[in-house]
Structure 1
Amino acid sequence: MKLFWTTIAALCFASGAMAQATVQSCNREVVFDAPPEAAISNDVNLTEMMLVLGLADRMVGYTGISGWKTLDEEMTNGVEQLPELAAKYPSREVLIGADADFFFAGWNYGMKVGGEVTPETLAPFGIKVYELTESCIHIGEKAAASMEDMYNDLRNLGTIFGVSDRAEALIAGYEAELEGFVAGLPALEAAPRVFVYDSGEDVPFTAGRYAMPNALIEAAGGVNIMNDFEKSWATVGWEAVVERNPEVIVIVNYGEVTAAQKREFMMSNPAFADIDAVRNDRFVVLEYVEATPGPRNIKAVQTLAAAFRAQ
């Protein structure tokens, strides 16, 4: 795997210098006079976007993974030469201390609105920020989450680092793979009603219309029962879940409470006994790195599409 990332990096940077590039990052235009050489990414999914583009040798580290999640073997091999600079959200001092010139993060993916680490607070130190597209809803308006959000990030990273050919090839490959996979499955008689269960027992933390699972569910042929919830990731009442009666429940697997424990909580709670998904034991598990924007969204759609058609 290490050889894979090294080979990709060599291919991506064979062309050398890049002309000035401008990308749209949420509500800002960010200008790059040259590709970053000391980049830091936050969270497992954003880090994987960097890796799949062959950018490991332009990174000085990553943040925000081990405090909540673990790296699987593929990711571990991809970042083995890089240090984790902070287990959770990094401080401004951590980023400055690493001599970073670029931070790939998002709102609630390494940055908080009004917090210590923002594009504005990092600018005086020469650290430019590109914001995850899905997260832009936290500082302004945007359309509901779609697969284009993830493609947009890959495309913009390609522009920033001078590897646009690689980014466009990846996007075209992902689009073709998804189209071919779904086309080979039997048609659905109706779109199944789907609830995303991230965490929480008193109230569930779920995906609204601006969170990536909304896009994954639609791409797979289903409908998110919270697609009218004008939020990204947020809590709702269990009453709304029961009332909307999902036919399939998607569990996001990460953290101390396992997917099996989340399923058991729902299966054993009498309040949920009449929910179709519970009565028919129709649960499907997505790993955190699959449910948040990143390259593994492709596998996530395939997993959901197959589960929606299972009897």
Structure 2
Amino acid sequence: MHINTKNTTEHEALLRLWNSAHIQLSDMQHSLLIQQGTKMVSENASFIFLRCKDCAVQLGKMAFKVKGSALFHAGRGQVLNVPAAKYEVELYQASYQAQLAQSAGVALSSLLASGGPLDLTLHILPKQTAFFEQQFRIMQDEYSAKSALSVLKIKSCLYAVAELFFKELNLSSPVQLDSFEQARQYMQQHFREQISIQALAESLGISRSHLYNQFKAAIEQSPKEYLMSLRLKSACTQLIKGEQSLDQIAVNCGLGDKGYLSRVFKRYYNMSPGEYRQMNINKCSGFNLQFKEPSGKDTPLTIENFGRLHSFSSVPKRVVCLDYASAELCLALGAGDALVAVADADEMLADCKPEYGNYLEKISHLFAMSGYRNVPTLADIVAYKPELVIGTSYSFEAVSGVAEAAAFERRGIHIYAMTATCKLESSLEDTYLDIWNLARIFKKEERGKKLINKMQCSAEALKEQTKKISEPVRVFSFAGTIDGKPLSCGQSLENHLIELAGGKNIFSHCRQQLAIFDWETVARENPQVILVHRFSDKTEEQCLSFIMDIPLLRYTDAVRNRRIHAVGLKKIFPAIDNVKTAWYLAYLFHPCAFKNKYITDIKHSCI
């Protein structure tokens, strides 16, 4: 339930409950987000204080735009979602429980039993920001202390927050609703139904032209274009499953009938729904090359990548790579003549094979737009007139990357995002798929086959070796810090390489590619080996000494035994040397079992 008006019966009911019930803090959370998003949920009602320069916030089904600070009362079970933002976001969540005394009247008991007031979502732009922030900080500090006096301090702060919140609820302005995000979410939930853009804009209290401008500014698509993209994406998913007729799919996607579905599908993807259904899209657990001769000389090649279909009628003659790994892959396939520019993406040219590094050194380089966004601008890329831009999925994001994929496509530029960066539980199979897709795009299939087969043979040999290992070593991968806390890999390609090498990532259970943890948790897991990502602005010695100086890690097996190793950043992202990296990791994890000439030869190239 959401209310915008003040002095409503629901608001008063919540206030009555606070006046009569025993209120107790049940949980306290604090997060400082720097270029990171978060999702939080509490089974109890809570107060949420948020401070940021400019960010989007979703609470339950409501989307807000926060500039400065905001204070929310979140109902039970409401999910708070804060996407990654350009600026630092700090938030506190104080969850509470309410309990009535036995002497409470029937009306109040019924009120609490109904739970209605505790399910309210209320919001204000606080006038006394410093006071609220101070109360939440005290609650956070005292909640960690867990002393008898702390309980009293917490209760005092919680009641102080509630008192001023209810007072300002009648005086302060509500938090600004994000009409763009509200409209986008509505379309995502109801695209199967008939949607009037005019009616949607009116329901949000804005004009159709204003909604149009918001969509164009945010994602470079009109509301109508975005709605069609949702419907077609759903159609593609259902076509791949192959279980329903075209008429059924058209109805399920909000496209009426198969005739209209076929027309718009052909217009957007240059093929019919039936042709798309017949496409041989690899869904096997293991990668197997599918060698098919094109049906005709002028038949365009269609590649599915990053949730989009790309049709290539000719080989791209101008290509920009947003990292050295993808540029090196293009060179390995013999497509170096098409490369017009490359961005370093925090990697080092020295991480590439010498012959490739020498070649890349001579072509144009794109520089980062700022220290915060270590990517070039869209304008700088467009200036090279590329037909294809290759990079990680992170490059094709509006907040932390260059721009959304749609921004490139609007300019007639194809994009290719390395598959392992688009999903969880990625593996070498994803790297093989990228090599094969790009080999087909550049018409270098034979080179692609040889490269994949060589990597597969080497990976199989490594698996045979690691079968002899009785127990994997515990590994902590250190990717940097955010607000002093360690960033480490979860279910990413690096996790797969660690496992392939006979290791066990201590955070393999984390359902994210990268996540923030704390040093206490790392110490408790007691890693036997620590891998440190070496960025372009740090020497190997600086990377290793940083870990050695963390007091909490002093007694871990890795630090006591000096088993801390730097690994070039390019090596753990999708690249042609992923298998070599796995061999090198196996040598680091099990030096006695992997002491041979092959390891000696590749050791230097993986540092």
TM-score by length of 1: 0.84
Give the gaps of 5 or more residues in structure 1. Answer: 1-16, 138-142
Q: Report whether the alignment pairs 1:153 with 2:434.
A: yes
Post-superposition Cα deviations, 1:23-52, rounded to whole Å, max 9, x if no partner, equal 121211221111111111111112111111
Change (3 A) 1:60 1:282: same
Aligned partner letter, 2:419: T
180-189 or 194-203: bigger deviation: 180-189
Match for residue 272 of structure 1 among 549, 553, 556: 553
Q: What SS does the aligned partner of 1:30 have?
A: strand
How far the C-alpha of 1:76 sits from its partner, in A, is: 2.7
How far the C-alpha of 1:200 sits from its partner, in A, is: 2.4
Q: 1:31 matched to which residue of 2?
A: 311
Match for residue 304 of structure 1 among 567, 581, 585: 585
How far the C-alpha of 1:237 sits from its partner, in A, is: 1.4
Q: 1:54 matched to which residue of 2?
A: 334
How far the C-alpha of 1:116 sits from its partner, in A, is: 5.4
How far the C-alpha of 1:239 sits from its partner, in A, is: 1.9
Change (3 A) 1:95 1:270: closer
Q: 1:119 matched to which residue of 2?
A: 405
Q: Percent identity?
A: 27
**Equivalent residues, number:** 286
| Structure 1 contact 63–84 (Cα < 8 Å) conserved | yes
How far the C-alpha of 1:19 sits from its partner, in A, is: 4.2
Q: Report whether the alignment pairs 1:134 with 2:415.
A: no
Q: Report whether the alignment pairs 1:203 with 2:485.
A: yes
Q: 2:509 matched to which residue of 1?
A: 228
Change (3 A) 1:43 1:52: same
Q: 2:536 matched to which residue of 1?
A: 255
Q: 1:284 matched to which residue of 2?
A: 565
Match for residue 381 of structure 2 among 83, 95, 104: 95
| Structure 2 contact 520–552 (Cα < 8 Å) conserved | no
Match for residue 295 of structure 1 among 565, 571, 576: 576
Q: 1:104 matched to which residue of 2?
A: 390
Q: What SS does the aligned partner of 1:241 have?
A: helix
Q: 1:239 matched to which residue of 2?
A: 520
Q: What SS does the aligned partner of 2:340 have?
A: strand
TM-score by length of 2: 0.45
Give the distance between the partners of 1:241 and 1:132, measured in 2 at CA.
29
Larger radius of gyration: 2
Give the distance between the partners of 1:185 and 1:144, measured in 2 at CA.
20
Q: Report whether the alignment pairs 1:70 with 2:353.
A: no
Give the distance between the partners of 1:111 and 1:26, measured in 2 at CA.
10
Post-superposition Cα deviations, 1:93-136, rounded to whole Å, max 9, x if no partner, equal 1222111111012222x332456522211112211111111221
Post-superposition Cα deviations, 1:182-241, rounded to whole Å, max 9, x if no partner, equal 5356821101111101222811121111x2211110111211111111111232211221
Change (3 A) 1:75 1:204: farther
Change (3 A) 1:271 1:85: closer
Aligned partner letter, 1:27: G
Aligned partner letter, 2:323: D
Give the distance between the partners of 1:284 and 1:178, measured in 2 at CA.
22
How far the C-alpha of 1:54 sits from its partner, in A, is: 1.3
Moved over 6 A (4+): none
Give the gaps of 5 or more residues in structure 2. Answer: 1-296, 369-373, 593-607
Give the distance between the partners of 1:100 and 1:176, measured in 2 at CA.
35
